[in-house]
Amino acid sequence: MYAYVRSIGEGSYGHVLLCRRRRAESASVGPQPEAAGSLAAIKCFKYAHHDAEAMRLALREIRLLRTLRHPLIIRLEDAFRSGSSGRIYAVMPYIDGGCAGELLSRSPSGLPPRQLKAFAWQLLLAVRYLHDRQILHRDLKPANVLLSQDGTIRLCDFGLARRLDSRQHVSEASERKELTTYVVTRHYRAPELLLGQPYGLPADVWSLGATLAEMACGRPLMAGTSSLDQLWHVLGAVPGPRPPYLAAAVGALGALDNAQLTPGLTPDMLRPARLPGAPLRQRLSGADPLFVDVVEACLRLDPASRATADELLQMPYFKDVQATDSNPALLRLAAWTAQEERPPANGAASIHGGGYGRPAFRFHYSAAGAAAAGIKLHDGDSYVCVRSLGEGSYGHVLLCRRRRAESAFVGPQPEAAGSLVAIKCFKYAHNNQEALRLALREIRLLHALDHPLIIRLERAFRSSRTDRIYAVFPCVDGGCAAGLIARSPSGLQPRKLQSFAWQLLHAVRYLHDRRILHRDLKPANVLLSQDGTIRLCDFGFARRLDSRQHVSETSERKELTTYVVTRHYRAPELLLGQPYGLPADVWSLGATLAEMACGRPLMAGTSSLDQLWHVLGAVPGPRPPYLAAAVDALGALDNAQLTPGLTPDMLRPARLPGAPLRQRLRGKAASQRRREVCGSNHGGGSGRPASRAH
């Protein structure tokens, strides 16, 4: 029924494709059939075809979308399951103007006043519609606001949306805890979410205020690099009285002098009293004062004092807007047109980006940088796609077959025609300068690696048709360790565990001998061959270190503190924003080996703070000064109760008993292997205890 045109965009849970209808069809919503040849945006739910939990979430999103009928909210036309692959798809109309996030990337000073008012009015109408029906979106941000060429918006991405009960908080108590961290992208996250408190409709209002502020000034109003750092930014920027839960947290966090997550915040700014309004108004000094009133009504620290969407629509800022929910044409206060930049100078090739629809922006492709990374222009016709192998936040891996024999970058033997390869497509490198820089850095690093237990880069190329960047690897035929663990709920057999541990240590030693920090060691990044050998993969976060044992790019170290290492495998120094080095990989290795032994993550926190509680309750060892200070402060966070089972005695700044860790691993491996896992101890930066396993 649909002919694939191209990829529109990808996220953590879905991949959106632009497709053309082969024949006319009736939509699930709306009386008019869709014409043959018209375009549709089809969302493929990534993991729903082989994971029961992902299937449950996909079906919940589809059920909710079927109940929504509003001209400013994306419309679900159809949903179906592929008879061949079993994948779940949702069909939506194609919106031809990109998203607000892309528009802001071309507007560093913010949107023009009339356009800002038009978008703010429409967003409030959409949010009011949801809140009137007790639906909490939970991921309001510019990237989820689609733009049409006629100036109207469509609110999209309801993957995290929930219906609320009569008490105005998330009705699924177990899910509220499970999703506390993932709900709402960090820069738009309300303080009650940052501290694990119950939340409801006001959490959306906070996200709406942060989104409107970003539209006004062209950048996130509060851009923290971790949950803790985000809270410091909130306290320094947002005026208003502090509710009791936040006052208690501020009193504790104010003692975290060693963490210095945001050095510019002074102790005076952290006192539990009303903050002056100057910081917020200064950041929005060029905006209409009436608009700032709207933002301040959204960004109140006490959820109960935040305005509702209906109250915001009645504020003086919107007094000149005459529109109704059913007539969005009246909302066109300013026609939106894409502004093309001047052609690039110096003869550089120009790559046009594509977000959700039209070309979003253009940037300069550095031919010199690509050549240095070994990337060549290629039409991609040497490979035939067989199927998708997997997707992540930054790449999509395809199983392909070679059409003809070719020489690899590494190894003397040419690859035979018909042999299988795994090809990684870097998702955003064709239309985002920063993504391109990261892709080139990963490819350069992979070119320097030559070890039988580390995935081998065969070649890299740029498509001559789409400008996308691809990396070609050998196909490893046994899946990954995470898949094997999913089939082994009691953990791996001792001999297999010993074999995998030995190989992993060899691979990590090879990297560390060359001062390379992987920064994302976990079972999902350990590929398995049918012959019992492993291949360590995914070097998107890898860095070379300087002689001081910490990340050499200081600015990047702060930027990537939160994203480095999946949370369950993250060392405590990373959780607290401390300098880190090779020992951070060793911690992740210990957590990975423990998961292989017992069949589940050893420490499965639901947020950065909750992860730290799990670490303190499970891992023995002396506490370095930075962690002891943090424990003293965090021990006072009684209201948060991120992990109620942890007692105050477990948080005392002294050596923790080794029992919790050994109990979790009891009977899973030989005592020597248990001692090796226990060796992944607390530490920080270059001054870590020498007891850390090597």
599's tokens: 């069949």
Dihedral sign from CA coordinates of 645, 649, 652, 657: negative
Angle at 27 between CA 21 and CA 28, to 5 degrees: 140
Cα of 74 vs its chain's centroid, Å: 22
The pair of three-digit structure tokens given for residue 299, joined into one six-digit string: 């960004």
Pairing, β 359-365 against β 469-474:
unpaired
Beta strands in 531-629 (DSSP E): 534-536, 543-544
The enclosing H or E element of 21 equals strand 14-21
3-state helix, strand, coil in the chain (%, to 5): 35, 20, 45
Distance CA 254, CA 326 (A): 49
Sequence length of the chain is 694
Task: Report the catalytic residues.
Answer: 139
| CB proximity list for 317: less than 8 A, separation 6 or greater | 117, 120, 288, 290, 291, 293, 294
Question: Under a CB-based contact definition with an 8 Å cutoff, are residues 674 and 619 in contact?
Answer: no
Structure tokens at 111: 């949107």
Residue listed under structure tokens 């109408």: 125
H-state helical runs in 218-308: 227-237, 244-253, 278-283, 289-298
Give the separation between CA 205 and CA 188, rounded to whole angstroms.
10
Neighbours of 166 (CB within 10 A): 7
Distance of alpha carbon 589 from alpha carbon 584, whole angstroms: 9
Residue carrying structure tokens 């305005």: 307
Q: What letter represents residue 392's amino acid?
A: G
From 387, 411, 391, select the one nearest 401 (Cα to Cα). Answer: 387
Q: What is the C-alpha to C-alpha distance for residues 280 and 239, in angstroms, rounded to an integer?
A: 7
